[in-house]
Structure 1
Amino acid sequence: MIICGFVSEYFSVENEEDYTTEQMQHFRLVLISQNRNDELNNTRRLILGDQAHDRVLTFTTSFSNEVLESWKVVKKSLSEMTDPSAKLDLLFAYSYNLGLFESWMEDNEGGMEKLVQELASAWKSLLNNHSDEELGWDCRYTKPGMLEFLDMFKHRIGRVPDYCSIGEFNFQ
């Protein structure tokens, strides 16, 4: 099992032993199951295409078109899935990789507002229409970790200049 971490409040310390109990309470974790790990790898390849295994990545404005095409594939996959936990894994993996390779946010050829709106709607539908048990996530670590990730993703999108026209990520 792999752990992916996010911090809800930033602070600095000299070394690991300097973290206080209070500071440690700001860490949010997402436990990465085998399926979640597979989806992280699959969506990375989907988004990056031919660059997926390159050590040095280059992005041009046309990368946004590849992102839009990748969303069509993910959206189709989501519509065919019946298992909410599988949808959760796919949405997390896709969103995580979109956040990781974020050049599409500010350097795009348009159409990103629809992607952001539809992605947020997919998250909202999943989170509002399924119980924790149906989602199959660990409520102690993974649920707060994913919600922290989504909040960070929302804030990142919110910092994009208005002239980029990518809209707002209203996942709740």
Structure 2
Amino acid sequence: MIKKITFLLFIFCATSTLYAQDTKAMKASAMRDAQAACEATLKEDFKTLLTYTHPNILKAAGGADIMEEYLKTTFTQMKANGFSYEIAKTKAVSDIVKEQGEYRCYVENYNQMKMNGKRIISTSYMLGFYNETTKKWTFVEAKEMKPAGTIIAYFPDFKTSLNIPENTMKMEDIKE
């Protein structure tokens, strides 16, 4: 009887350790992929950025090529109006959860932009979805996945236990 209990405890501990190592690696890969998306945004490398965009969003937009053209046009217009990114970086990754058959997390991004003599500083959150086949994370804007969000309709029956914080934003005069 003691051998059976010892064996079960061993299996439990080994499984727990493997799961902890697996989620630690997944968390690191979420950080890596979210930061790569931030860097692609700064460089206006929309092809790369779109590889980190959830496929449901690309499909809804009519494909990556259409979305890329939209982003190019949008960024050109924003720059013409004096908008520029100064900083875009991933600061943190939440715990990894498995729900509805997939691994998920959210990432906290820090953004600093300027426009018309103002600096805009924001913290925003992206919801990450892990693709076990490609070993890669794709993301969507978390606030848009809430019931009143604009993209939740592209994720039928979506539910999450993740408690995603609200985005924050402040503006200040640039004193240079």
TM surpasses 0.5: no
| Bigger RCO (CA 8 Å, 6+ sep) | 1
Structure with greater proportional strand content: 2
Structure with greater proportional helix content: 1
TM-score w.r.t. the length of structure 2 is: 0.31
TM-score w.r.t. the length of structure 1 is: 0.31
